[in-house]
A and B are shown apart, each in its own frame.
Chain A
Amino acid sequence: MLWPIDLIVLTFVIFCAIAAITVRDLLGTAILFSAYSFLMCLLWAVMGAVDVAFTEASVGAGVSTVFLVAAVFRTSRRSKD
């Protein structure tokens, strides 16, 4: 495993995760989740699990972000707490 890539990507993953629960704009949260999924996809690829990385990229970073954006579009963009 290439540890510098791992370290950098893991740092970004943690930043994205913390940002996703602190940001009040729900559209921003959806995008942050997408970034989180994409970084996880990179991690899977580095570990050699290419099939999992592929699924994470298409389902996690792709279509689930669209579902979240659609849900935000039909509800409210501001979070209550």
Chain B
Amino acid sequence: MKLLGFVVICLTGGLLIYGTMDLPNWGDPASPASTHLSDYYIENIVEETQVPNLVTAVLADYRGYDTMFETAVVFCAGLACFLLLRDFRPGKNRYYRHIPTGVMLHFKNPDTRMIPGNEFEHMDKDWVPSDIIIKTVCRILIPFIQIYALYVVAHGDFSPGGGFQGGVIFGSSLILMAISYNLRTLMKRVTEKFLSIFAATGVLIYVGLGVLAMIMGGQFLDYGMLAPLVPWDPGHIRALGMLGVEIGVGIAVMAVMVIIYVNIVSEGRHDEGL
């Protein structure tokens, strides 16, 4: 069986390598994409959209419909994780630590309405004392990561980056908080309701801008039609439309990354994790 698998893999790999022989060389000026499409983009993008980063212009404007469904796919991934993994049954075991003495209490089938006093701390089953160095470094680092993520989203028109990357970086800063402290610290600040609303809002911003363009008399996602809404700067309307779309993508991706992480790491219970 193992030999058969090896032969199949070798055959498939060989066919794939044989297939790549037909692909044009890297940077070949005679390749089909370079002869028709790239010329048009390189000559006209800055004139038509006022966006210096051609990749962002192609992704968010010329292929805006495509990117909209990519965002929808990311949203669906988060939704699927939630539907498959989320477990609303209360946990059978609950552990508390008495902070002044360090005594650990184990409750079986606890009453969830029971709220411990200030001297008790809800703790994980495999609790280890948290390291002061890791906690401090992460606490200092997280705001800078978040500022950088916002910069990546906002500056996507001018430099590499955009909604997807910025959203992922912002989401990983929240995941870093869950790893360096514990999962409950994150879920107290960023609740499940907040994340779900944000994930849906991001997609809605994208679709909403498209529908708004339709209402203003253009085609779906034709940002040029939004010009009457920003009378002070109608020349850059396509760049502004792209910025709005990128913000929507960033919000959706940020929320979905945290939803996926939280559901995987806590087996859908949202009580304890890495």
Contact surface of A with B, Cβ cutoff 8 Å? 1, 47, 50-51, 53-55, 58-59, 62-63, 66-67, 69-71, 73-74
Contact = CB atoms under 8 A, between A and B. Distances in A.
B89 to A, nearest CB: 17
Nearest to B85: A74
A53 to B, nearest CB: 8
B169 A58 contact: yes
Contacts of A70: 261, 264-265, 273-274
Contacts of A74: 264-265, 267
Contacts of B169: 58, 62
Given A55-B165, A63-B168, A74-B267, A47 B261 contact: no
27 contacts: A1-B26, A1-B27, A50-B160, A51-B56, A51-B160, A51-B161, A54-B152, A55-B164, A58-B168, A58-B172, A59-B168, A62-B168, A63-B171, A63-B257, A63-B261, A66-B172, A66-B179, A67-B260, A67-B264, A69-B274, A70-B261, A70-B264, A70-B273, A70-B274, A71-B264, A73-B274, A74-B267
Contacts of A62: 168-169, 172
Q: Nearest 4 A-B pairs (CB), nearest first? A: A70-B265, A50-B160, A51-B55, A58-B168
Given A59-B168, A74-B267, 15 more contacts: A51-B160, A54-B161, A54-B165, A58-B172, A59-B165, A62-B169, A63-B257, A63-B261, A67-B260, A67-B264, A70-B261, A70-B265, A70-B274, A73-B273, A73-B274
Contacts of B199: none
B197 to A, nearest CB: 21
A66 B261 CA distance: 8
A51 B168 contact: no
B162 interface: yes
Interface residues of B, number: 25
Nearest to B161: A54
Nearest to A45: B160
A67 B273 CA distance: 12
A50 B265 CA distance: 32
A16 to B, nearest CB: 17
Most interface-central of A47, A54, A67, A74 (chain B CB within 10 A):
A54
B172 A51 contact: no
Nearest to B176: A66
B175 interface: yes
A66 to B, nearest CB: 6
A13 to B, nearest CB: 15
A22 B179 CA distance: 28
A62 B55 CA distance: 22
A71 B85 CA distance: 12
A73 B161 CA distance: 31
Interface string B148-160: 0000100000001
A39 B151 CA distance: 25
A58 B264 contact: no
B172 A63 contact: yes
A51 B273 contact: no
Given A66-B175, A67-B264, A47 B26 contact: yes
